[in-house]
Chain A
């Protein structure tokens, strides 16, 4: 009797795979939402924070558990409109396609000092405390948006990984963009990626759109109807329907999900982006 999909335990034997596809086009230089910070800066803050969390979670008493392979890719074009699809990792891991989480933990590009905001228990005020954060990716914003090329490359990377991990929880692809594809219709490429599968189910493709205007975000919509424009509708079609564990987690976090909700966020600001990233990881069984 076949087991339900998306239930494979994540372990050293059956690793998980997370692949980030980051829009590095020129418009990523614009501010995110109504904050003064640029989209590319906020995105890197979020990704670096996510990587640090995963590295910490993967480390236990017996050293780092290699539960996960991670890839972080950026896509943009050069001045001649040639697509540049490359790993966004810096430092010792520069240029690597997929690395294990233990390698992430061991080899940040550098350590930065950033100000962390914390509530002060005694007075209820928010205070800023300098803290050291590891950095793996840096902001890039130039050129256009070759989304199809990126998805094509993602397909190659994932096919290869799946052939080596046929029984694993299916790879999760998190695509973050702020605009439309400029090298053609991305739908067929997205479909191809979603057709890839392990024994535990199809690859999950989640899409998050970052907005410059302080617009209302749409998180995990279940239908095209309420979406404000064509770009939103395309991203919606590109996104996988959320499997049950993800739905349960999102509902527990307070998102009012309808059946058929997709892993998609539109007009995300920094809070939505972080929530979106967290949702992807926390819901996977065993990856806690």
Chain B
């Protein structure tokens, strides 16, 4: 049975790629990736040896010369055969000690070289590429054994995976999932990845908060396989002068040597934590995406208060979740309205109407560009909130704060923060015109912000009350906003009697009153209408009433220049179509 250290201050597993891909030279350095990792790792172990105790394992993986995969712990010399070694045993037991020259610049520009003692614990031998999934499986078994020997932990283990090259077909997130199921933890292990770059021309992606800018499917899988950084590790990076955004993941992609060194410092930060639960009072989370969704955005808020705020405009999306018959999930009006809401929020987040392409840089001019341009300009000065309402099966009416989530403590989000606030990002293949009469298939990302079930009909009054309160809070915080707030009511348009007029009147009590627009998806067939200037083509009195309650689109003359059918009397009202002028309407306000 393996000896496992008795200390309970956490475990770090270094999972090191030992394939021949690691012979390639690292970007920004003169040595191979493997040599750089070895040096950096040995230097780190030396530092860990002098700090708080933590259990360390180094797992290398490759395919040996005679065929079978060689995945095992790489301690050698006095520590040979060990799996986890406590960091306080390291000082006494290096494999060997080398003398290396440390170059220090002195005042006057002369570089002084001084010989230093450089203990070595890890010396890699390279081989063929092993299956990474098996390496993760080995890690799982390793950690499992460690857990059963050391009892339940206050802090999840940290797995630091170092990768030379990602195969294009690699799907690491499934391998990483293996690790999530470990028992006896306060949460799944933190898994962070460093992928080393060969080319200095490709900029690295450091600690991204979304996989938007990652160029390949394998890289995006790596993103999904990497855990979001917990606050202590975030602070550690910032102390190392590395900028980290909220919801950043423990991933550096196409990293250079300098990035690798800061990255490995995470192990030190991990070891330095005192053994208290890092998520005090929180339930264990089993899904990184849940974490992403509910994490209190403390840092962003602090940042936002500090920086001077540009004048802003508030956009509120109010979703009516009611359907008349609870049927056909994907084709119900609620499903359509939900899709509309997700597309609109994505647009406000700065993406063109068809979603963004799979990689940076910015997408090309395409359908909906007028609004995308407006989105770019509006970004940063538009704040968004999404609320929904509907009656549950028991008839209880509810108003939900969908975005930002009620648990976040915030009432609205800046456009720039929207990308990070998505529940998830779906990837779809879509056909698009290729400019010469043909079609091209493009992979597009669709961030999802609203994902709720349909509901029964509820009075709109409580919902409009909530919107009114939200707008009042906005008014207090922004006594001089850049323009009038906008409320877009997405609904199937069936309101008996005068309840909708009464609800809307609540908004009229605000000063200044917001503009109210409607996007209606009808349950029975109805002609598509965009921004009509009279209600004559609306088939029901309820729809006509909604039209009357809708505000005119501002800047009617200018809009007419863009769209022949629009005029000064055009209302912000769309039936069975896209509300594609939402942002153009907001942009108008900024000058108004």
Contacts and interface: CB of A to CB of B under 8 A. Distances in A.
Nearest to B359: A124
B436 A114 contact: yes
Contacts of B563: 30-31, 212
B503 to A, nearest CB: 27
A31 B368 CA distance: 11
Specify the main secondary structure of chain A where it touches its partner. Answer: mixed
A215 B436 contact: no
A128 B439 contact: no
Tell which of B336, B357, B443, B577 has the most Cβ of chain A within 10 Å: B577
Contacts of B431: 271, 275
B493 to A, nearest CB: 14
A58 B578 CA distance: 40
Nearest to B578: A214
Interface stretch (A45-53, A79-87, A170-178, A186-194): A45-53
Interface string B547-570: 000000000000000011100000
Nearest to A132: B436
Interface string A6-35: 000000000000000000000001110111
Contact of A124 (B358, B367, B439): B358
Interface size class of A (residues with CB under 8 A): 35 or more
B368 A35 contact: yes
B437 A49 contact: yes
A248 to B, nearest CB: 20
Tell which of B360, B527, B530 has the most Cβ of chain A within 10 Å: B527
Contact of B565 (A133, A212, A226): A212
Tell which of B215, B368, B435, B578 has the most Cβ of chain A within 10 Å: B435
16 contacts: A35-B366, A36-B367, A52-B437, A114-B436, A123-B215, A124-B357, A125-B358, A126-B440, A213-B529, A213-B577, A214-B530, A214-B577, A215-B528, A215-B530, A269-B367, A274-B433
Tell which of B360, B436, B526 has the most Cβ of chain A within 10 Å: B436
Given A118-B440, A131-B436, A228 B578 contact: no
Interface in B37-93: none
A236 to B, nearest CB: 12
B70 to A, nearest CB: 33
Interface size class of B (residues with CB under 8 A): 35 or more
A123 B359 contact: yes
Contact of A116 (B359, B360, B435, B578): B435
Tell which of A211, A214, A227, A275 has the most Cβ of chain B within 10 Å: A214
Contacts of A30: 563-565
Interface in B379-431: 431
B576 interface: yes
Contacts of B367: 33-36, 269-270
B585 to A, nearest CB: 14
A214 B363 contact: no
A131 B438 CA distance: 13
Contacts of A114: 435-436
A117 interface: yes
A228 B526 contact: yes
Contacts of A123: 215, 359
Given A34-B578, A124-B357, A270-B367, 10 more contacts: A29-B564, A30-B565, A33-B367, A34-B353, A50-B437, A116-B435, A118-B434, A124-B216, A229-B526, A274-B433
A225 interface: yes
B364 interface: yes
B432 interface: yes
Tell which of B359, B371, B437, B443 has the most Cβ of chain A within 10 Å: B437
Contacts of A63: none
